[in-house]
Amino acid sequence: MKINFAELATPKNGAVVVGVHEKGKLSTSAKLMDALAKGALRRAVRNSRFTGKSGEMLSVIAPAGLSVSRVILAGLGKSPDELESQNLGGRLLAYLEQAGEEIAAVLVDDGVGSPSAPNIALGARLRSYRFDKYRSKEKKGKKTRLATLTLHVKGATQARRAFTSLDKVAEGVALTRDLVSEPPNVLFPKSFAAEVRKLSRLGIKVDVHGERKMRELRMRTLLAVGQGSQHESQLAVMHWNGAPKSKTTIAFVGKGVCFDSGGLSLKPAGAMEQMKWDMGGAGVVTGLMKALAGRKAKVNVVGVIGLVENMPSGGAVRPGDVIASMSGQTIEVLNTDAEGRLVLADALWYTQSRFKPKFMVDLATLTGAMIVSLGHEFAGVFSNNDDLTGNLVAAGAATGERLWRLPLDKAYDKMLDCDIADMKNIGGRGAGSITAAQFLQRFVNDVPWAHLDIAGVTWSSKDTPTVPRGGTGFGVRLLDRMVRDNYES
């Protein structure tokens, strides 16, 4: 879909969208279109249940006096903010495609410099995402794709410039969604690493370490997870140096289990196919790096992702095995399906010791217990630093990718105590998400750190305004916003 910006004018063809405030109050553009349509829009509002509330739509087909195919009245609510403008753009895109429109224009009344038009465009871009590369034909009755969307607004040049930056973030979201959606016979550690290498075109320095290098680094816990697979494990490291005069680096670390069978602690067959997206954390880090580089973020960032496949075989790690991590701490593996924390243990230790970051944020589809706790509405955040947590939660609220803080406490940490090693990899039936976070905290030293458990928000079984069903890309916009608001020079 092509998105254009133009100064306010009356479109001559296609569909036209105008806003209506609560209680049916027409916007300035709606009044103009209503005058040209000889009052047809007011009559339509008066004779319907449409009230102008956020999310409401009313279509007036080919009104007399206008050459356009239809005028769509879009409810604006009381005072839409940036997030609601994005949701409006997403809803409009879905509505227009369902109606079969290929060309559409949105008339935005806000003044020069208003964020409404760029954010409406961002919402439409995010909702337009599809992962259909493996379809050989379109299903009968499939929605028509909108070819062109033009936003008419005062100060079109400024709006276009603002959207250019937002669109780079959308590209990062799309990359994450692509990675999460790929089938596991296509996306395995080496092919994932090959996708990461493509980011070098944007000025990102990419280093990929294979198993030989990781053995030299003594990353035994990461390697243990992948030792039952025929696919070699990888560690991909991405560097974006957008502030070359600064000596400060921030770090993001992602769990990249490209397929999780559970290993010898085999998962039930039901819904195992969903475990292709157990690399969601690594997907978010990769998409974030693309977004930051795409918009030339003035910050130095390192992204580290551990890429493995967790499979059962004669060579797989066993329940009862004891493994020494890169940190030197030993771990008794009681459940091979608690593997993501083993990957992150070495990845976090490597990141904090190698790069000395200002802070680290890791992302992982780590525990089913997180879905039990928060469902599919919030991701859980655990942290050893209040300021970092505050920045993350604020960015989540601004982008709609919401976080809820859960506790870390010595009482939970004791649940990892082990009779024969420094720790065990699970803490028992209760507080599973918390004990997983406590496990990770043992590998961060004193670096400010936050852990985002995104198990419930990486994949969606339903459409939302800016997120089509499937891979969500949750975390890319959140982390980009946190960096933009707090850490860019």
Task: pLDDT band for 78, please (50, 70, 90 cuts).
Answer: confident
Say if 163 falls within a structural domain: no
Percent of the chain surpassing pLDDT 90: 95
Whether residue 452 contacts residue 362, with contact meaning beta carbons closer than 8 Å, is answered with: yes
pLDDT of residue 358: 98
Say if 166 falls within a structural domain: no
Does residue 149 sit in the same domain as residue 207?
Answer: no
Q: What is the pLDDT of residues 168-196, one digit of tens each?
A: 999 999 999 999 999 999 999 999 999 99
Say how many domains are in the chain: 2
Percent of the chain surpassing pLDDT 70: 99
Whether residue 82 contacts residue 65, with contact meaning beta carbons closer than 8 Å, is answered with: no
Structure tokens at 163: 């959207």
Nearest to 455 by CA among 475, 469, 439, 440: 475
119 Cβ neighbours under 8 A, 6+ residues apart: 82, 83, 85, 86, 89, 166
pLDDT: is 313 or 78 the higher one? 313
Nearest-10 Cα torsion for 295, 296, 300, 306: 50
Enumerate the H helices of 378-431 as residue ranges.
386-399, 410-413
285 DSSP 8-state letter? H
Evaluate the CA torsion angle 389, 472, 96, 54 in order and state its sign.
negative
Active site residue 267: yes
Task: Report whether pLDDT(243) > 60.
Answer: yes
Does residue 111 sit in the same domain as residue 14?
Answer: yes
Enumerate the H helices of 232-367 as residue ranges.
280-294, 340-355
Evaluate the CA torsion angle 27, 29, 31, 33 in order and state its sign.
negative
Please tell me the chain's helix, strand, coil percentages from 3-state DSSP, rounded to the nearest 5: 40, 20, 40
Catalytic one among 125, 290, 295, 341? Answer: 341
Q: In 11-52, which ranges are E strands?
A: 15-21, 25-26
Nearest to 340 by CA among 430, 219, 257, 227: 257
| Average pLDDT score over residue span 30-55 | 96
| Average pLDDT score over residue span 46-72 | 96
pLDDT of residue 113: 82
Does residue 421 sit in the same domain as residue 306?
Answer: yes
**How far is 63 from 121, CA to CA, in rounded Å?**
26
Say if 325 falls within a structural domain: yes
| Average pLDDT score over residue span 52-66 | 95
Q: How far is CA 40 from CA 46, 63, 145, 302, in A?
A: 10, 7, 28, 57
Q: In 312-461, which ranges are E strands?
A: 322-324, 330-332, 360-364, 379-383, 403-405, 423-424, 449-453, 459-460
| Average pLDDT score over residue span 234-259 | 98
Does residue 94 sit in the same domain as residue 56?
Answer: yes
pLDDT of residue 110: 87
250 DSSP 8-state letter? E
Question: Among all chains, which residue has been given the structure tokens 């939302």?
Answer: 464
Say if 340 falls within a structural domain: yes
Does residue 251 sit in the same domain as residue 304?
Answer: yes
Does residue 282 sit in the same domain as residue 370?
Answer: yes
Instruction: Give Dmax over CA atoms of the chain in angstroms.
Output: 83
Task: Report whether pLDDT(137) > 90.
Answer: no
Evaluate the CA torsion angle 74, 75, 79, 80 in order and state its sign.
negative
Mean pLDDT of the chain: 96
For residue 237, the SS3 value is strand
Last-in-domain residue among 155, 186, 208: 155
Say if 25 falls within a structural domain: yes
**How far is 210 from 448, CA to CA, in rounded Å?**
28
For residue 357, the SS3 value is coil
Task: Report whether pLDDT(139) > 80.
Answer: no
Active site residue 462: no
| Average pLDDT score over residue span 51-66 | 95
Say if 400 falls within a structural domain: yes
Does residue 150 sit in the same domain as residue 183?
Answer: no
Q: What is the pLDDT of residues 368-378, one digit of tens each?
A: 999 999 999 99
**How far is 334 from 263, CA to CA, in rounded Å?**
12
The residues pairing with 5 across neighbouring beta strands, listed in sequence order, are 151
Does residue 371 sit in the same domain as residue 225?
Answer: yes
Nearest to 193 by CA among 276, 316, 308, 291: 308
pLDDT of residue 144: 73
Range with the poorest average pLDDT among 101-115, 207-221, 366-380, 394-408: 101-115
Catalytic one among 42, 218, 267, 405? Answer: 267
Q: What is the pLDDT of residues 82-98, one digit of tens each?
A: 999 999 999 999 999 99
Last-in-domain residue among 155, 190, 214: 155
Does residue 273 sit in the same domain as residue 297?
Answer: yes
**How far is 421 from 331, CA to CA, in rounded Å?**
6
Say if 165 falls within a structural domain: no
Task: Report whether pLDDT(474) > 60.
Answer: yes
Query: What backbone phi and psi angles, to 5 degrees, belong to 77?
Result: 70, -150
Does residue 149 sit in the same domain as residue 178?
Answer: no
Boundaries of domain holding 36: 2-135+142-155
pLDDT of residue 141: 55
Residue 74: which H helix or E strand, with range? strand 70-77
For position 346, which CATH number holds? 3.40.630.10
**How far is 42 from 45, CA to CA, in rounded Å?**
5
Does residue 147 sit in the same domain as residue 218?
Answer: no
Question: Among all chains, which residue has been given the structure tokens 């102008």?
Answer: 52
For position 107, which CATH number holds? 3.40.220.10
Task: Report whether pLDDT(142) > 90.
Answer: no
Evaluate the CA torsion angle 289, 397, 109, 77 in order and state its sign.
positive
Residue 262: which H helix or E strand, with range? none
**How far is 344 from 443, CA to CA, in rounded Å?**
9
Say if 316 falls within a structural domain: yes
Does residue 380 sit in the same domain as residue 285?
Answer: yes
Computed on alpha carbons and rounded to an integer, the radius of gyration of the chain in Å comes to 25
